Structure 1
Amino acid sequence: MQSDDDSLPDADGIDRRGFLHCMTWAGTGVLWTLSGGLPRSVGLGAALAAEPTSAFSFLQISDSHVGFSKSANPDALATLSQAVDRIRALPSKPAFMIHTGDISHLSKDQEFDDADQIIREAGLPVLYVPGEHDLLDDGQGKAYLDRYGAGSRGAGWYSFDHSGVHFIGLVNVVNLKAGGLGNLGDEQLEWMEADVAGLASSTPIVVFAHIPLWTVYPEWGWGTSDGIRALSYLRRFGSVTVLNGHIHQVMQKVEGNIAFHTARSTAFPQPAPGAAPSPGPVTVPAGELGKYLGTASVDFVRGDQPLAIVDQPLIG
């Protein structure tokens, strides 16, 4: 839902006007700053070494998978804790964090509880959308909505404004299509079209969802079946940034006015598209997990210049 001012949730994660509730960051992340309405991001390593700045900034994190404990990462909760330690060490606090889904691994109350306990230590509000792993309970996502969905619409979508930037959180993990492709559905798409209809074309837009809105690799369900329709509503805007998770690796694309960026998982890597028989957790040699859960530095420039990404692994 759209706010009519620049306010965000209080420190306890609940906006007093009721439009959002909050979660937090895991393992790795990207620090985004907004200057002149244009998103620019730096890896957490660079941010830790930087002088404090007055620029508006926010963090993107994704795919915490709290509860996952297989060989690819025996303790995903520990990875989350390490990430929060890094956030707390930042010289200048971001305004909030965005979590692009799969907070939990199996949608269990204990997994959400454990994530919440670590998250609160960051001292920042977090805006989030669910991943498919957050909707596995018997109520088909009721546990997620009861805990995090205050003020959202439908399965958990919403929008808000901050410092002249319009943010849209979408849910594309309900009623997945063949092969696991994401799906937004008519109700959400009609809401989105109405949500942006009254905005000036000069308004910077940030969209975030779990599954990529662009087609990365449809054979593995890495795309959204009706994503083209959603993106069509954004073509008239001069600056659009789309943030996603789900594929557990950094990938980027610039198409006209829209810059796409997928975040690494904070729990485990997945293979590059087509590099394995199927997607899934990849076990790397002992001591090297941090190389695959690193941070990324991303620069976004209005116009036709490409989005530049510099990978910054946690180790190496």
Structure 2
Amino acid sequence: MSAFDHDHAHGDPRLSRRKVLECMTWAGTGVLWSIAGGVPHALGLIDSAQAAEPTGLTFLQISDSHIGFDKPANPNAIGTLEEAIGRIKAMPVKPSFMIHTGDISHLSKASEFDDADRIISQARLDVHYVPGEHDFIDEEVKLYRERYGRGTKGSGWYSFDASGVHFIGLVNVVDLKAGGLGNLGAEQLAWLEDDLRGRSKSTPIVVFAHIPLWTVYPTWGWGTEDGARALDYLKGFGSVTVLNGHIHQVMQKVEGNVTFHTARSTAFPQPAPGTAPSPGPMKVADDKLRGLLGIASIIFKPGDERLAIIDTPLQG
């Protein structure tokens, strides 16, 4: 969690009309979000040579760095995180802050968190974290909490406000259920209900957690067992965006007032749901790896809440 206050937006940059009405190419190792008119829109992490100038508050999402991972799917997870941060540093218009949606480390080792902190800090952005299940492996489950959990509730949940938007960081990796499904638990759900109580229904809400709150593929544990209860508390709000990681690929769903979006990993890809015997690191040819971590195109038109996200490889 961050102790910074983001209630003051950075300047008043304007979005390039040509880039908006056409499509924007971005590095899929992170997602750039812009909030304009109270509605978050995914702009993508845009290459510095093609950077649009977003309107209002912008923030980045990165996920699943898995620092410490060194298996054939990507023996250099540090290097690909460095590439992602390098792209962020090259952006001519800096976002207001960054959200990391979990699995910072691979085995919850102090050295892994040290490496992640060293690299991510080079972006010179305030970062808000939520844990992934790989961040809670250490015996006393304290390394994540000592570094990122100060000032949070329970196992690390919290909320903050930025430029009129209410952000909520949830933890659904502590008490995993059958098949690895995420779980929020009664205490956190009660806190969430209280956190939202009395807020204007016109307040834009951004929720972020590691495991998807919607059921992507329960056979692989890609969902949160009690996620529907959390979403019930959000039904009355006009604009709700839910950001997750965990599945290492972009998937999006719009359901009523809620837009769900999962992010790519900066470390390694996973198979599409049901296309392999089980989830896990997916080995591809070395020259294909960055294609699966890398580029996507987004078609974004003003007033259109649905985004067309088209995967495009960094190479080839």
TM norm structure 2: 0.88
Please tell me whether the aligned partners of residues 3 and 160 of structure 1 are also in contact (alpha carbons under 8 angstroms): no
How far off is 1:230 after superposition?
Answer: 0.2
Deviations along 1:15-73, one digit per CA (max 9) or x if unpaired, are xxxxxxxxxxx981011111111111222235651254452100011000000001000
- Going from structure 1 to structure 2, the CA distance change for 1:244 and 1:118 (only over 3 Å counts) comes to same
The Cα of 1:314 is off from its aligned counterpart by 2.8
**Residue number in structure 2 paired with 1:177:** 177
Q: Are the equivalent residues in 1 in contact too, given 2:47–2:87 (CA < 8 A)?
A: no
User: Which one-letter code corresponds to 2:31 in the other structure?
Assistant: V
Identity %: 67
| 1:185-200 pair list within 5 angstroms | 185-200=185-200
Matched residue SS, 2:234 = coil
C-alpha distance in structure 2 between counterparts of 1:5 and 1:305, whole Å = 25
Quick one: structure 1 residues 197 and 307, their matched pair in 2 at CA, closer, same or farther if it must change by over 3 Å? Answer: farther
1:213-255 Cα distance to aligned partner (Å, 9 max, x none): 0000101000000000000000001111000000011111111
- Post-superposition offset of 1:311: 2.8
TM-aligned CA distance change 1:312 to 1:59, over 3 Å: farther
Q: Could you say what secondary structure the match of 1:111 adopts?
A: helix
Give the number of equivalent residue pairs: 298
Q: Measure how far apart 1:198 and its partner are.
A: 1.3
Could you say which residue in structure 1 is the equivalent of 2:14? Answer: none
User: Is the contact between residue 41 and residue 299 of structure 1 (CA under 8 Å) also seen in structure 2?
Assistant: no
Indicate the residue corresponding to 1:6 in structure 2. 7
Residue pair 1:40, 1:298 contacting (<8 A) in 2 also: no
Letter in 1 for 2:132: G
Query: 1:231: which partner in 2?
Result: 231
Q: Which amino acid aligns with 1:102?
A: D
CA contact 1:30–1:297 (8 Å) conserved in 2: no
Structure-2 change in CA distance of 1:54 and 1:313 (3 Å): same
The alpha-carbon deviation at position 127 of structure 1 amounts to 0.5
Kindly report which structure 2 residues correspond to 1:64-143, keeping only aligned pairs within 5 A, or say none. Answer: 64-140=65-141, 142-143=142-143
Distance in 2 between residues matched to 1:169 and 1:306, nearest whole Å: 24
Specify the alignment match of 2:44 in structure 1: 43
Looking at structure 2, the residues matched to 169 and 300 of structure 1 have their Cα atoms a distance apart, in angstroms, of 26
Q: Note the C-alpha offset of 1:119.
A: 1.1
1:170-191 CA-partner distances (Å, limit 9, x unpaired) = 0000110000000000000000
Letter of the structure 1 residue corresponding to residue 81 of structure 2: L
1:256-307 CA-partner distances (Å, limit 9, x unpaired):
1101000011100001111111101000012110110024455788998533
Alignment of 1:211-226 (within 5 A): 211-226=211-226
Alpha-carbon contact 1:63-1:245 (below 8 Å) kept:
yes
Return closer, same or farther for 1:47/1:167 CA change in 2, 3 Å cut-off: farther
Q: Is the 8 A contact 1:213 1:223 kept in 2?
A: yes
Deviates more, 1:197-206 or 1:181-190: 197-206
Q: Work out the CA distance in 1 between the residues paired with 2:172 and 2:96.
A: 25
Contact 2:34 2:55 in 1 (8 A): no
Instruction: List aligned pairs for 1:159-308, cutoff 5 A.
Output: 159-296=159-296, 305-308=305-308
Could you say what the CA RMSD is over the residues aligned between the two structures, in angstroms? 2.4
Assess, with a 3 A threshold, how the Cα gap between structure 1 residues 250 and 4 changes in structure 2: closer, same or farther. Answer: closer
Task: Give the unaligned 5+ runs of structure 1.
Answer: 9-25
The 1:214–1:109 alpha-carbon spacing in structure 2 relative to 1, beyond 3 Å, is same
Counterpart residue identity of residue 165, structure 1: V
More moved, 220-229 vs 116-125: 116-125
Counterpart in the other structure of 2:31: 30
Deviations 1:154-176, CA, capped at 9 Å, x for gaps:
11000011011110000000110
Aligned-partner Cα distance in 2 for 1:49–1:165 = 27
Q: Which residue of 2 aligns with 1:59?
A: 60
Change (3 A) 1:283 1:306: same
Q: Distance in 2 between matches of 1:214 and 1:295?
A: 25
Equivalent pair of 1:30/1:61 in contact (CA under 8 Å): yes
Task: Return closer, same or farther for 1:2/1:68 CA change in 2, 3 Å cut-off.
Answer: closer
The alpha-carbon distance between structure 1 residues 40 and 116, as it changes in their structure 2 partners (threshold 3 A), is same
Mean Cα deviation higher: 306-315 or 260-269: 306-315
Structure 2 portions without partners, runs of 5+: 10-26
How far, CA to CA, are the matches of 1:245 and 1:235 in structure 2?
A: 22
The 1:90/1:4 distance shift into structure 2, 3 A limit, reads: closer
TM-score (norm 1): 0.88
